[in-house]
C-alpha cells in the first residue's frame, strides 16, 4: 500500500463486502427544511467544499484491486483524484414535489440506488420545493464509511450551520478500546449465551429482498418520550419507550395471522469513544437482542417488559463483551465467519431497530432550520424490515424501510406506530 492509502478496518470491510445487486450498503438522513426560498445550490456547494479539509474520507474512494506493489492488500481508502463537488452536492432533477407522499417516493428511489464506487461514498441531494414551501436534503453515506453516530458527526462537520451546542457525546466509552481483561474473558460466554443462544421461530420478516425500497416516517415528541419513561416505577429510558412504541405498531400492523408472541429486535449499541476526533469515522457498533412482546395488549406492561430486559443487559455490559469477543474470534477466519452468520440469522433476531442521537438544539442548513430529521437504513437478506430512529432537538423521527415486493404497506406500519405511541402516552400520562 502507498503512504496515501489506508486499509479499511475489519468491520468496515465486512460491511463493504455485504453490498450486492440487492443491497446498496448506505444509510440515508432526510432533513426537511423550514419553508423559505429555494436553497442556492452553488452557495451550498461552496459551503460544503470549504469544510471538507477536516474530513479526509470526504475526498477518498474505496480501492479494491491489487496494491501498487502487486500484493493483495484488501479494500483501502485512496485519494479520489478527480473529485468534483458537483457529483456529491446536487439538486435531484424532476423532484419539485407537491406532497409528502411525493417526497417519500423520491427518497425511496434514492435508497435503492448504489453509490458510485469510483467516487467518495457520500452524496447530498436537494429535493423540492414542496407545495408548502419546505425543501428537503437527502444525505446518503455508505455504512463502510460511517455508522449512525459517525454519520451525524460527518454531517455536522460539513453541512450544518455553525452552532454553539456540540453533538451528543460520541459514545459510551471514556477511553479507547483496549484488549479484554481476564475477568471479561470469563464473562464473555454468559453474554454470548444471553444474546445468541436462544433462537426463535420463523421471523415474519424472513423474506428475500430485491433492490426496491419503500420508506415511511413518523415523528414523536422527545419530551413526552422522556416523561413516559420517568412515569414508570423502574425508570425506563427513551430507547425503552421507543422500542415499546415500535412493538405496539408491529402488534397492530401484523395482525393476528402473522403476529408472533415475541419478535426479537437487534438493537445496535455504539461503542465510539467520547474523546474521539470528529474526523474519526468508521464503525464501532455492537448490539443487544431484545424480545418485543407483541402478544401483550397492555402498552404499559409491554414497556415494563422491555425496560427490564435492557436494564439487565446494560448492567452486565453485554454489548461491549460481544464486541470484544467478536474481534477476538476475528483473528480465526472459520470462527469469525461462523459467529457472524449466527448473529445475523433470522432465527436470532427478526428486525434491527436503531436509535441515533442527533442535534441537541435546532440546527440549520444554509440559514434554513431543519424542522424534521429522519434516518433510514436498508433491510437485509432474511430481514426485510429495518427501523431507525434519530433525535432532533425536541423530536424523535422514526424511519421504516423495506422492500415493497417482500413487505408491502410500510406506510401503514408508520401509521400504526403513531397510533401505538398515542395509546402508550394516554396510558402513561393520563391524570
Confidence label for 98 from pLDDT (cuts 50, 70 and 90): confident
Percent of the chain exceeding pLDDT 70 equals 76
pLDDT digits (tens, 9 = 90+) for 182-208: 555 556 565 555 556 566 667 889 999
The whole-angstrom separation of Cα 203 and Cα 250 is: 13
Residue 247 inside a domain? The answer is yes
368 occurs within a structural domain: no
Ramachandran angles phi, psi of 390, nearest 5°: -150, 140
Flag whether pLDDT at 174 surpasses 50. Answer: no
- Band the pLDDT of 147: cuts 50, 70, 90: confident
Question: Which residues, 6 or more positions from 67, have their beta carbon under 8 angstroms from its beta carbon?
Answer: 1, 2, 5, 73, 76
* pLDDT at residue number 93: 81
Strands ordered across the beta sheet of 262-270: 214-221, 395-402, 385-392, 351-356, 262-270, 285-293
| Contact indicator for 185, 320 with CB cutoff of 8 Å | no
How far, in Å, CA of 333 to CA of 192, rounded? 19
Kindly state whether residue 335 falls inside one of the protein's structural domains.
yes
Residue 390 or 313, more confident: 390
Region of poorest pLDDT, from 52-56, 225-229, 239-243, 346-350: 346-350
Q: Are residues 345 and 206 in the same domain?
A: yes
151 and 188 assigned to the same domain: no
Cα separation of 67 and 55, whole Å?
Answer: 24
- DSSP E strand stretches across 128-235: 135-142, 214-221
HSE-up of 117 (CA within 13 Å, CB side)? 13
What is the band of 57 on the pLDDT scale with cuts at 50, 70, 90? very high
Helix spans in 289-409 (H): 299-315, 318-329, 333-343
Q: Which domain does 243 fall in, by range?
A: 182-359+375-429
Residue 15, domain member (yes or no):
yes
Give me the pLDDT at residue 267, please.
Answer: 87
The pLDDT value recorded for residue 172 is: 41
- Answer whether 0.95 is exceeded by the pTM: no
Domain for residue 174, yes or no? no
pLDDT in tens, 404-422: 999 999 999 999 999 999 9
Can you give the pLDDT at residue 121? 97
pLDDT of residue 321: 58
Q: Please, is 257 exposed, middle or buried when counting C-beta atoms within 10 Å of its C-beta (0-12, 13-18, 19+)?
A: exposed
Q: Are residues 275 and 333 in the same domain?
A: yes
pLDDT for residue 99 is more than 80: yes
The CATH number of residue 194's host domain is 3.30.559.30
151 and 199 housed in the same domain: no
With H, G, I as helix, E, B as strand and everything else as coil, classify residue 86: helix
Q: What is the number of other CB atoms lying within 10 angstroms of the CB of residue 130?
A: 20
pLDDT at 302 over 70: yes
Range from 24-38, 140-154, 264-278, 339-353 carrying the lowest mean pLDDT: 264-278
The answer to whether the beta carbons of residues 409 and 215 sit under 8 Å apart is no
Confidence grade of residue 332 (pLDDT, cut at 50, 70, 90): low
* 217 lies in the same domain as 148: no
User: Is 250 a member of any domain?
Assistant: yes
Rounded-to-integer distance, Cα 258 and Cα 43, Å: 50
Q: Decide if 167 is inside a domain.
A: no
Position 177 scores a pLDDT of 46
Higher pLDDT, 92 or 138: 138
Counting the structural domains of the chain, the total is: 2
User: If you ran DSSP here, which 8-state letter would residue 87 be given?
Assistant: G
Contacts of 94 (CB under 8 A, 6+ apart): none
For residues 139 and 259, membership in a common domain is answered with: no
Phi/psi of residue 337, each to 5°? -65, -40
Domain boundary among the residues 94, 126, 158 is at 158
Q: Is the pLDDT of residue 139 over 80?
A: yes
What is the per-residue pLDDT for 344? 62
Find how far residue 307's CA is from the centre of its chain: 21
Tell me what pLDDT residue 255 has. 79
pLDDT digits (tens, 9 = 90+) for 204-242: 899 999 999 999 999 999 999 999 999 999 999 999 999
Give percent of the chain with pLDDT exceeding 90: 62
- 140 and 264 share one domain: no
In a domain, 165, yes or no: no
Same domain, 82 and 118: yes
CATH number at residue 40: 3.30.559.10
Compute CA 30 distance to the chain's CA centroid, rounded to the nearest angstrom. Answer: 12
Residue 132, pLDDT > 80, answer yes
Q: Which H/E stretch holds residue 267?
A: strand 262-270
Residues 297 and 344 in one domain: yes
- Residue 175: what pLDDT? 39
pLDDT at 305 over 60: yes
d(CA 136, CA 129): 8
Which distant-in-sequence residues (6+ apart) come within 8 Å of 306 by Cβ? 236, 240, 243, 244, 247, 290, 292, 293
Task: Tell me what pLDDT residue 202 has.
Answer: 78
- pLDDT of 334 strictly over 90: no
- Mean pLDDT value across residues 358-379: 96
Cβ–Cβ under 8 Å, residues 132 and 126: no
- Is residue 65 domain-shared with residue 204, that is, in the same domain? no
Claim to verify: residue 129 and residue 236 sit in the same structural domain? no
CA gap 420, 253 in Å, rounded = 10
Looking at the fold, whether 55 and 101 belong to one and the same domain comes out as yes
Flag whether pLDDT at 425 surpasses 70.
yes
Amino acid at each position: 500500500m502507498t503512504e496515501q492509502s489506508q486499509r479499511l478496518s475489519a468491520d468496515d470491510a465486512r460491511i463493504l463486502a455485504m453490498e450486492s445487486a440487492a443491497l446498496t450498503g448506505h444509510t440515508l438522513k432526510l432533513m426537511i427544511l423550514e419553508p423559505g426560498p429555494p436553497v442556492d445550490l452553488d452557495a451550498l456547494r461552496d459551503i460544503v467544499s470549504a469544510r471538507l479539509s477536516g474530513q479526509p474520507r470526504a475526498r477518498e474512494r474505496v480501492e479494491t484491486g491489487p496494491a501498487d506493489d502487486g500484493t493483495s492488500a484488501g479494500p483501502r481508502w485512496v485519494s479520489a483524484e478527480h473529485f468534483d463537488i458537483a457529483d456529491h452536492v446536487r439538486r435531484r432533477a424532476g423532484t419539485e414535489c407537491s406532497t409528502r407522499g411525493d417526497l417519500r417516493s423520491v427518497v425511496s428511489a434514492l435508497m435503492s440506488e448504489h453509490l458510485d464506487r469510483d467516487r467518495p461514498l457520500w452524496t447530498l441531494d436537494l429535493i423540492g420545493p414542496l407545495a408548502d414551501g419546505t425543501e428537503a436534503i437527502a444525505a446518503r453515506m455508505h455504512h463502510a464509511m460511517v455508522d449512525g453516530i459517525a454519520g451525524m458527526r460527518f454531517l455536522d462537520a460539513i453541512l450544518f450551520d455553525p452552532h454553539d451546542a456540540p453533538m451528543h457525546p460520541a459514545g459510551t466509552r471514556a477511553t479507547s478500546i483496549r484488549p479484554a481483561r481476564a475477568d471479561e474473558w470469563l464473562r464473555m460466554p454468559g453474554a454470548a449465551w444471553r444474546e445468541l443462544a436462544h433462537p426463535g421461530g420463523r421471523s415474519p420478516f424472513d423474506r428475500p429482498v430485491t433492490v426496491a425500497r419503500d420508506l415511511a416516517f413518523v415523528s414523536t415528541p422527545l419530551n413526552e418520550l422522556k416523561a413516559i419513561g420517568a412515569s414508570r416505577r423502574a425508570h425506563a429510558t427513551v430507547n425503552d419507550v421507543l422500542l415499546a412504541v415500535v412493538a405496539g405498531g408491529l402488534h397492530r400492523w401484523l395482525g393476528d395471522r402473522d403476529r408472533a408472541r415475541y419478535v426479537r429486535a437487534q438493537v445496535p449499541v455504539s461503542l465510539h469513544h467520547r474523546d474521539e476526533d470528529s474526523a474519526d469515522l468508521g464503525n464501532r457498533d455492537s448490539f443487544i437482542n431484545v424480545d418485543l412482546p407483541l402478544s401483550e395488549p397492555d402498552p404499559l406492561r409491554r414497556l415494563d417488559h422491555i425496560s427490564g430486559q435492557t436494564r439487565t443487559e446494560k448492567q452486565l455490559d453485554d454489548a461491549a463483551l460481544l464486541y470484544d469477543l467478536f474481534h477476538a474470534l476475528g483473528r480465526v477466519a472459520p470462527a469469525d465467519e461462523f459467529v457472524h452468520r449466527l448473529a445475523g440469522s433470522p432465527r436470532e433476531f427478526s428486525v434491527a431497530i436503531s436509535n441515533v442521537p442527533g442535534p441537541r438544539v435546532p440546527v440549520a442548513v444554509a440559514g434554513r432550520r431543519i424542522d424534521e430529521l429522519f434516518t433510514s437504513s436498508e433491510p437485509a437478506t432474511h430481514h426485510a424490515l429495518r427501523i431507525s430512529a434519530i433525535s432532533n432537538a425536541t423530536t424523535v423521527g422514526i424511519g421504516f424501510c423495506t422492500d415493497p415486493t417482500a413487505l408491502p404497506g410500510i406506510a401503514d406500519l408508520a401509521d400504526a406506530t403513531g397510533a401505538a405511541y398515542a395509546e402508550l402516552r394516554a396510558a402513561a400520562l393520563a391524570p
